Amino acid sequence: MSDKNMIYLHPLPVRIWHWLNALGIITLCLTGVQIRFPEHANIFGSYRSAILLHNTAGIIVALSFSIWFFYYSMSSRNLAKIYVPDAQDMKRGLLRQVGFYFFLYFFGRPNPHHATPDNKFNPMQKSAYLAIMFVLMPIVSLTGIFLMNVSPLRELILAAGGLKTLDMLHYLAACSLGAFLFTHVYLTTLGHTPLAHTKSMWTGWEEEEGEVHEETEHHAGQKV
Amino acid sequence: MITATKQMVLFLALALSLAGWTAMASASGPGYSFGAAEGKNGNCLDCHSASDKVGSKFFIDPVKYRHTNHAKIGCPACHDDSVAAGHPAVKKASVKSDCRFCHTDIAGDYAKSSHAGKTSCNGCHDPHRANTPAEISGYDINRMCAGCHDHYGITASHAKWLPQAELHIEMLPCITCHTGSKNYVINMYIINRKGIPHLGKFEAAGYDELKRVAGGKEILSLIDTNGDNYISLAELRNFNTNSAHKGLHLQGMMTPETVTHSFQILDNRRDCTFCHASGPGAMQTSFIAVPEQNGTFRKVAVEKGAVLEALYSTPDFYMTGKTRNSMLNKIGLLIIAGGMIMPVGHGFLRYLSRNIRNRKEKGHE
């Protein structure tokens, strides 16, 4: 039987941020569907309720994003280390991780990545989060702020190419984040138990099975 | 019997002729006749088109008056010809018939509306520059309302329930919500900055400035480049992306297809989906209001679907939910479907490979 080593992977601020984001983003997706397709989806009673909820959730997620950014870049000072793939990741790690997820996993081979508090994410996670946190989230938040304040920000909206450009960027970025959500939730089930990663994001402690040899001892999945 | 009928007709004809001659004699009284057929307004306008003669209160702008239907029927249609007796020493306004005499239907609508008793036709309309609904832009409609309804007060009262109230009030004619209409169309007009270059507020562009931009040619030629009096989507895109027109923007307003005077507060307008839900053929019809020299606008039809296009036909006109672009909807759906590949595809292979993985795991244990 395997040993059970526990590592403290997710500090409290990160967990609060994660679940706040999760609630906010799910609310934004559902209200967003009603706002864009009101004749097909009436989830929150009235269109006005959907708008008010969307705006509130948007502000919370945008603030939460700002807090995350400052926490990692100012306080934790390991933003780049955690989120930006290094040369080794790009040269070898990324392909190795893709090979694991899409091939070796089905043969019961272990995950080549070993998560530590300073190196939480595998190269695939790093690439995905880089695109999400540094491209999609800023786009969706900024365009959302513009769309919420059309009259006061009229000049900037015209300079950006008009309302339709902003709406298109907001919508496509939101769809991309929505698409990622499915993959993200699915990949959380690839731990040694289907809920292992979800539990660790709730408690902060990640359970490791066994030790010594990375190739054989690590559980199969790491969430993206 | 036939003879008696003929006699009656003859008598009536004579009576009418006599009445006509009497009226003409009276109308061409001492120097202040309303003029003959073509120039029914001529004599009046000799004085009333000069503010220094009659003062600003009685001044009639001849350019803005002449194109109106009121000018066609002439001053005596509304003003009693008794004005001639002591005029101009007698300055009493002489009214022979009021608006209801011709505009019976409108008067009926109005009498039942929430404006009834609060103001008369003149409270909103100057009869000497009355334009038809087709001759005004949405911007002008709200200027009439703003005569009584304070912009800030109205914005504050709407903000109690309406998200982005200021935007709605700027971008919609009040009558879109406050009168009933079965259908709505999009009316666009050209705006540019007023006052300080690059910083001034955007307002409706006037005839003279647009004429200058058009290099003295017809203003419509700025958009309708082939001169067929119809604006295609390609022409619209070209106008919006042409760097020569950088300072000009098209502002759109959702306006009732049929304008009525049945002013009221309609509860269904508080349901945002009245405007923000798309339906079959929604927002397919649009026009561009081009300013004319006489202060009116000429509405020129635009190819169907302009406001539904993704970007360049109307880059700054977007009604959430209503004018969404169907191609973007499909792209969004594809992106989300892409996100399902991992759970569905990987999940399926994961299920198929469960025995292999279980054996391997047991082997490790």
A chain contacts of residue B364, beta-carbon cutoff 8 Å: 216
A115-166 pLDDT, tens per residue?
777 777 888 888 888 899 999 999 999 999 999 999 999 989 998 999 999 9
Question: DSSP label at A136?
Answer: I
**Which pLDDT belongs to residue B208?**
93
Amino acid at A33: V
- Cα A73-A76-A80 angle, rounded to 5 deg: 50
**Which pLDDT belongs to residue B33?**
45
CB contacts < 8 A (A, B): 134
Nearest to A186 among B318, B346, B359 (CB): B346
A chain contacts of residue B310, beta-carbon cutoff 8 Å: 164, 168
Nearest to A186 among B332, B343, B349 (CB): B343
Cβ-defined contact of B279 to A106 (cutoff 8 Å) = no
pTM of the model: 0.84
User: How far is the C-alpha of B325 from the C-alpha of B308, rounded, in Å?
Assistant: 5
User: How far is the C-alpha of B237 from the C-alpha of B232, rounded, in Å?
Assistant: 9
What mean pLDDT is predicted for residues B185-201?
86
B chain contacts of residue A55, beta-carbon cutoff 8 Å: 163
H helix or E strand, kind and range, residue B174: helix B174-178
User: How far is the C-alpha of A52 from the C-alpha of B306, rounded, in Å?
Assistant: 29
Amino acid at B89: A
- Return the percentage of chain B with pLDDT > 90, whole number: 43
Nearest to B339 among A147, A165, A178 (CB): A178
Cβ-defined contact of A107 to B276 (cutoff 8 Å) = no
Question: DSSP label at B188?
Answer: E
Residue of A nearest to B357 (CA): A108
B280-309 pLDDT, tens per residue?
566 789 999 999 988 889 999 999 989 998
Q: Is the pLDDT of residue A74 over 80?
A: no
For B227-281, the DSSP string reads -SS-B-HHHHHHHHH-GGGTT-EEEEEEEESS--------GGGGSTHHHHS--TT
Nearest to A38 among B273, B325, B336 (CB): B273
- Closest Cα of chain B to A155: distance in Å? 9
Residue of B nearest to A55 (CA): B163
**Which pLDDT belongs to residue A2?**
47
A chain contacts of residue B337, beta-carbon cutoff 8 Å: 179
Which of B162, B201, B342 to substitute to test the interface with A, most A CBs within 10 Å? B342
B chain contacts of residue A151, beta-carbon cutoff 8 Å: 164, 166-167, 170
Nearest to B318 among A46, A167, A185 (CB): A167
Nearest to A47 among B273, B337, B352 (CB): B273
User: How far is the C-alpha of A9 from the C-alpha of A202, rounded, in Å?
Assistant: 11
Length of chain B: 365
Q: What is the mean pLDDT of chain A?
A: 85
HSE value, Cβ hemisphere, 13 Å, CA-based, for A167:
26
B46-77 pLDDT, tens per residue?
888 888 888 888 899 888 888 888 888 888 78
Q: Is the separation of the CB atoms in B262 and B112 below 8 Å?
A: yes
Q: What is the mean pLDDT of chain B?
A: 83
**Which pLDDT belongs to residue B280?**
56
Cβ-defined contact of A164 to B166 (cutoff 8 Å) = no
**Which pLDDT belongs to residue B161?**
92
Determine phi and psi for A146, rounding to 5 degrees. Answer: -65, -45
Give the ranges where A11-132 is alpha helix by DSSP (H).
12-36, 47-70, 79-83, 87-88, 94-102, 123-131
- Closest Cα of chain A to B302: distance in Å? 19
